[in-house]
Amino acid sequence: MSYQALYRVWRPQRFDEIVGQSIITRTLKNALITKQTSHAYLFTGPRGTGKTSAAKIFAKAVNCHYLKDGEPCNQCVTCKAINEGSLNDVIEIDAASNNGVEEIRDIRDKAKYAPTQADYKVYIIDEVHMLSTGAFNALLKTLEEPPANVIFILATTEPHKIPATIISRTQKFDFKRIKPQDILERMAYILDQKEVEYDDKALKLIAKAAEGGMRDALSILDQAMSYGDNKITYENALLVTGSVTNELLTTYMQQVINKDTKSALITIQKILDEGKDASRFIEDLTSYCQDILLYQQDPGIVEEMELGIIDDQFKTLSGQISDQKIYQMINELNDISNSLRFTAHPDVYLEVLTVKITHLDPTDQSNQASMPQPKRAVSAASTPEVNAEIQELTQQVAKLKAEVDELRQGSTAQPTPISTPEPAKASESHSMDNHIELAKIYPILGKATRKQLNQFKSVWPDLMDALSVPQRSVMHVSSPVAASAGGVIVAFQYAFLYQKAQADTDLKDALENNLDRIVGKAPQIVFVPENQWPDIRREYLTSHKDQLKKTGSQTKETTDPKADAADDDSEETPQPETDSQPVVKKAAELFGTDILDIKDD
């Protein structure tokens, strides 16, 4: 018999076997027991969290005549046919490959006919966000006049792409990322059943690397099993996940905190010699830094979310390093990870990084002084040895920088001049990252008013209170910077938190839902990194100058001047006389007077 992937063999067949979604499965079972099922469901959540499994189990349960405590029997003809995928009345559609109107119209026509073999016809539409607008409209018509004995289960990883009209016709369930501990227990159960030996540490590593998805966890487990002879070892798990050991990370961090550049450089060399991937090291280190930040905020969060990282050394480290320094480190790591994508010489970048972060000065908020600062260091410890060391390191940095420049010039494959590890250049760089959603930002800026912005600012604390603790930890350095009636732009002080927020669709949903509750509307929310915000505004004002000149004189009437004055204490500052005065005025209305550095060219 050919080998079957673990996630197929161990796909849950009962609600109780779905890991980490007990609230959802209990609610569904209760609905089945009390016969209060809905005709349309929307299952949302990250991949591998059990949406499709739950949909299939539901399809069985609603049709099984031997239902017990809301669970299908998995023994009767109907259950078996559904498990084999041979029951005509349970129809699975992958919208990613069937996004046309015709397919959905076809569903609409066929849905009218009664089920042939089972009590209910169940349509499971996976990746439903991929449907075209026309297909959504056709689906909406069906949902508005639901045929008897037909149930739709829509599943998606991207609920923000589903029209509100569809969402309002469904009962919505948000599947959460599965906790590492739950993933670990499931993996251990499966391995016990298969009589495969395993190292606890190996499972912890895999559980963490799976990032909340059971399917990913089982795929990694499959790979680790193929390496080892019926045994899951820590070494194989490290190999498959490409992770750097916690010991090495802790050692490296300790050396960074001690400003022990030489030892830290040796550790980097050791990591690279072991064949570790430089990008993976940066990812692991970033995640380690985030764990420290979270741990400093609330040890409980990390204990709940992470596995195995909290040893005595981790606790000691957390007490030794300031959050400012961690934020600076994360910024540096972020810059490096961008550069690493385009280099064939990652070791040089890691060495430059090491020299830089062992010299970070946490008292400097601007993060400009990541290079060694002789004067400050001297005042801290003015001895000849320290001076000599600083001089040596300064030379070292200069040498490494020259090497990097040389490499960069030699490499023509480099597609864009993105930020370099050199701090001065990085901060001067005006090139905007291509992931900034200008197409969403410009329409908001076009209709932005101070009044709207003030409204969002005033409810922001309430909005933060409504979020979960991990979500709040991502959002706590964010603030609204511009707003119109239909949208709000939110800037993040730290690029890594911006990226985290950007990747988190649950977070955007939570923000929109809570705003809807608090202010009675759900505006579009767009995230930007704070350091790019001045450039975004400047480019917007430059590219819309003519338009703004025309409308500039009118907009004053539509905004509330009192709201301006209340929020902006620099209102009285005399404004520079330029021929683009209406633009300046409009800009001041949108953003306040702090951006009157518009170049009129």
Which parts of this chain interact with Zn ion (CB under 5 A)? 64, 66, 72-73, 76, 79
417/413 Cα distance (integer angstroms): 11
- Nearest approach, Cβ of residue 1 and Zn ion (Å): 26
325/474 Cα distance (integer angstroms): 17
- Nearest approach, Cβ of residue 113 and Zn ion (Å): 23
Q: Which is nearer to Zn ion, 57 or 238 (CB)?
A: 57
Whether the Cβ atoms of residue 261 and residue 336 lie closer than 8 Å to each other = no
Token couple for 414? 């480099």
Q: Which is nearer to Zn ion, 28 or 515 (CB)?
A: 28
Strand partners, 529: 492
- Nearest approach, Cβ of residue 80 and Zn ion (Å): 8
- Nearest approach, Cβ of residue 61 and Zn ion (Å): 8
Whether the Cβ atoms of residue 515 and residue 522 lie closer than 8 Å to each other = yes
- Nearest approach, Cβ of residue 59 and Zn ion (Å): 11
Q: Which is nearer to Zn ion, 76 or 596 (CB)?
A: 76
Whether the Cβ atoms of residue 216 and residue 207 lie closer than 8 Å to each other = no
Q: Which is nearer to Zn ion, 73 or 596 (CB)?
A: 73
374/382 Cα distance (integer angstroms): 10
Q: Which is nearer to Zn ion, 76 or 190 (CB)?
A: 76
Residue 207's identity, in one-letter code, is A
Q: Which is nearer to Zn ion, 64 or 178 (CB)?
A: 64
- Nearest approach, Cβ of residue 114 and Zn ion (Å): 20
Whether the Cβ atoms of residue 53 and residue 183 lie closer than 8 Å to each other = no
DSSP SS3 for 34 = coil
323/211 Cα distance (integer angstroms): 24
Residue with tokens 């005006």: 430
For residue 464, CA distances in Å to 98, 212, 492, 568, 572 come to: 39, 24, 14, 23, 32
Q: Which is nearer to Zn ion, 65 or 399 (CB)?
A: 65
What's the first-to-final CA gap in the chain, in angstroms?
72
- Nearest approach, Cβ of residue 64 and Zn ion (Å): 3
Q: Which is nearer to Zn ion, 76 or 369 (CB)?
A: 76
- Nearest approach, Cβ of residue 90 and Zn ion (Å): 13
DSSP annotation of 175 reads P
How many residues in total does the chain contain? 601
